[in-house]
Amino acid sequence: MEKIYSRPESLRSAPTHYCAGCGHGTAHRLIAEIVDELGIREKTIGVAPVGCAVIAYDYWNFDCSEAAHGRAMAVATGIKRVGPDKVVFTYQGDGDLAAIGTNETIHTANRGENITVIFINNAIYGMTGGQMAPTTLLGQKTATTPKGREYAAEGYPLKISEMLALLPQVKYIERVSLHSPQETMKAKNAIRTAFQNQIDHIGFSLVEILSPCPTYWGLTPKEALDWIRDTMAKEFPLGRIK
């Protein structure tokens, strides 16, 4: 019988530590599939963030570095400038990329570093126990917004992808989602584009992935996917931003 589905070489055979229904496992796999399909595993260097995905290097089967919270793009800048022939990507959550690392995010994009950024937006801090993220929706209850996020005190959900689209050296930004198989396939295509851009020396490319966190949304895995479709994607519209 012909085998039509198997683990990519870029993904190690290891059970992940993620919660049931978490999007990280899917996102890791999509990246691994693209790295395999593009034949770049032996020159890919990933930068893992601080957050739930900190040990992503235990799942990916290529060179990886950790970075301090928010500094993944600065670390990636150093790696890419030293090895311009390598394929360098960061994998960052919303707190990492859009709160503590906002400065690094804006300036790495503005310098037009030829790297790929995978931005996991789950509107929450997962690893620390479900606190408000910059992307938390208005009214969304978290450990630090027990009555729900209010714009008057906490501001609106930060649309960092739309902000980055203003920068002339940003070449590609697309927002995708993991809430259905169709959307997951679109996410994979976006990730392919973002990596291909780097290989083609086109420049800074970012894919924002709306990703479920059932544990800290207080939902079942199925409800979490529906919440992305019905609520989160209204605030963060899917599609090509730049």
Partner 1 sequence: MNNKVLMSGNEAIARGAIDAGCRFYAGYPITPQNELTAYMALHMPQEGGVFIQAESELAAINMVYGASAAGARAMTSSSSPGISLKQEGISYIAGARLPAVIVNMMRGGPGLGNIWPAQSDYFQATRGGGHGDYRCIVLAPSTVQEAYGFTRFAFSAADQYRNPVIILGDGMLGQMMEPLQLSDKALLKTENRQLKTKKWALTGCKGRKPNIVKSFYMAEGDLEKANLALQKKYRAIQEKEERFESIFLEDARVVLAAYGTMARIAKGAVVELRKRGKKAGLIRPITLWPFPRKAFQGLLRTHRRAKLLVVEMSYGQMVEDVKLALECKLPVEFLGRSGGGVPAEAEIIKEVNRLIR
Stretch that binds partner 1, among 19-27, 77-85, 199-207, 211-219 (CB under 8 A): 77-85
Question: Encoding tokens for residue 123?
Answer: 């509107």
64 lies in the binding site for partner 1 (CB under 8 A): yes
Q: At what angle do helices 24-37 and 181-199 cross, to 10 degrees?
A: 50
Structure tokens at 86: 């390598």
Q: What separation in angstroms does the CA of 125 have from each of 96, 101, 178, 213, 215?
A: 9, 14, 18, 9, 11
Nearer to partner 1, 57 or 216 (CB): 57
Question: Would you count residue 71 as binding partner 1 (CB under 8 A)?
Answer: yes
CA 75 remoteness from chain centre: 16
Strands 87-93, 44-48: pairing kind:
parallel
Contact stretch for partner 1 (CB under 8 A) within 39-47, 140-148, 169-177, 190-198: 39-47
Report if residue 44 touches partner 1, rule: CB under 8 A: yes
For 236, list phi and psi in degrees, rounded to 5. -120, 85
- Closest distance between partner 1 and the C-beta of residue 197, in Å? 19
Take residue 117 and report the two structure tokens written for it.
Answer: 């950024």
> Is there binding between residue 227 and partner 1 (CB under 8 A)?
no
- The residue from 16, 26, 36, 78 that contacts partner 1 (CB under 8 A) is 78
Of the candidates 19, 26, 38, 66, which one interacts with partner 1 according to CB under 8 A?
66
Residue choice 27, 30, 32, 47 for contact with partner 1 (CB under 8 A): 47
Q: Which stretch binds partner 1 (CB under 8 A): 41-49, 147-155, 194-202, 221-229?
A: 41-49
Residue 114 sits in the site that holds partner 1 (CB under 8 A): no
Amino acid at 232: M
Among 21, 31, 34, 61, contact with partner 1 (rule: CB under 8 A)? 61
The candidate with the shortest Cα–Cα distance to 11, out of 60, 63, 64, is 60
Nearest Cα to 136, choosing from 164, 156, 106? 156
CB of 28 to partner 1, least distance (A): 14
- Tokens in use for 181? 């198989």
- Least distance between partner 1 and beta carbon 7 (Å): 15
